[in-house]
């Protein structure tokens, strides 16, 4: 008797999950994650302002679509949901009306959470590189740092970054200076309540 054929999960499997589910498909396997913690959400909103404000427009510097937590299909068995993603309008002239987006982003930003750190680094980061995402920002709200990586032939090279108290110009959005402290808000108390 033949062994049953392996079935890889696809976007249809994500659609079968409850609407509020936070899930992705990597290598044909569905991974579900928890809702973001407050520090994660704060960093995502702040970076959306810093990057989306000036770049998600038609004027200078503009020329981008900046989206939060949108499904991106890299292959039938790799559907990811970056915390933030950006597409140059010259590559994606119109904003798609439905999901998933089937165009590889020009930039992704992943914001570290204790519950997602290994998933982001060990599963998502290599997939982004393999599919040719040119830029990746890794944001750590606990350490209060932003690290910018450039894809060089499928390998990530750290090219810029900034920490608490610093101002940074990070590719591909170096036309705007980011006050890193403002991304994370006031430092919290040592008990982690803030």
Average of per-residue pLDDT across 4-25: 85
3-state secondary structure the chain: CCCCCCCCCCHHHHHCCCCCCEEEEECCEEEEECCCCHHHHHHHHHHHHHHHHHHCCCCCCCCEEEEECCCEEEECCEEECCCEEEEECCCCCCCCCCCCECCCCCEEEEECCCCCHHHHHHHHHHHHHHCCCCEEEEEECCCCEEEEEEEECCEEEEEEEEECCCEECCCCCCCCCEEHHHHHCCCCCCCCCC
Which pLDDT score, from 0 to 100, does residue 20 have? 83
Which pLDDT score, from 0 to 100, does residue 139 have? 96
Which pLDDT score, from 0 to 100, does residue 2 have? 59
Give me the CATH code for the 37-184 domain, please.
Answer: 3.90.1570.10
Which pLDDT score, from 0 to 100, does residue 174 have? 94
User: How many other CB atoms are found less than 10 A from the CB of residue 50?
Assistant: 21
Q: What are phi and psi of 135, to 5 degrees?
A: -135, 140
Q: Which two tokens stand for residue 181?
A: 């402290």
Q: What are phi and psi of 2, to 5 degrees?
A: -75, 145
pLDDT classification of 88: cutoffs 50, 70, 90: very high
Listed in sequence order, the residues at least 6 apart from 160 whose beta carbon sits closer than 8 Å to its beta carbon are 147, 148, 168, 169, 170, 171, 174
For 111, 187, 193, the CA distances from 190, given in Å and listed in that order, are 21, 9, 8
114-145 pLDDT, tens digit each? 877 788 888 899 999 999 999 999 999 999 99
Which pLDDT score, from 0 to 100, does residue 58 have? 72
Which pLDDT score, from 0 to 100, does residue 1 have? 55
Q: Which residue has the higher pLDDT, 148 or 4?
A: 148
Res. 159: pLDDT tops 90: yes
Res. 194: pLDDT tops 50: no
Dist CA 145 CA 181 (whole Å) = 9
User: How many other CB atoms are found less than 10 A from the CB of residue 10?
Assistant: 17
Res. 190: pLDDT tops 60: no
Average of per-residue pLDDT across 174-188: 90
**Sequence ranges of the domains in the chain:** 37-184
């Amino acid at each position: 008797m033949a062994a049953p054929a392996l079935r890889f999960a696809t976007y249809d499997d994500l659609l079968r999950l409850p609407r509020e589910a936070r899930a992705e498909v990597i290598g044909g396997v569905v991974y579900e994650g928890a809702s973001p913690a407050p520090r994660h959400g704060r960093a995502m909103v702040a970076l959306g302002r810093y990057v989306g404000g000036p770049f998600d427009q038609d004027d200078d510097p503009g020329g981008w679509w900046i989206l939060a937590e949108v499904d991106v299909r890299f292959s039938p068995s790799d559907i990811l949901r970056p915390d933030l993603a950006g597409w140059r309008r010259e590559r994606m002239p119109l904003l798609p009306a439905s999901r998933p987006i089937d165009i590889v982003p020009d930039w992704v930003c992943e914001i570290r959470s204790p519950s997602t750190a290994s998933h982001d680094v060990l599963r998502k980061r290599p997939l982004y590189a393999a599919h040719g995402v040119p830029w990746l920002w890794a944001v750590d709200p606990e350490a209060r740092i932003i690290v910018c990586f450039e894809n060089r032939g499928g390998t990530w090279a750290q090219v810029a970054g900034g920490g608490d108290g610093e101002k940074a110009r990070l590719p591909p959005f170096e036309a705007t200076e980011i006050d890193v402290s403002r991304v994370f808000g006031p430092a919290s108390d040592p008990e982690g309540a803030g």
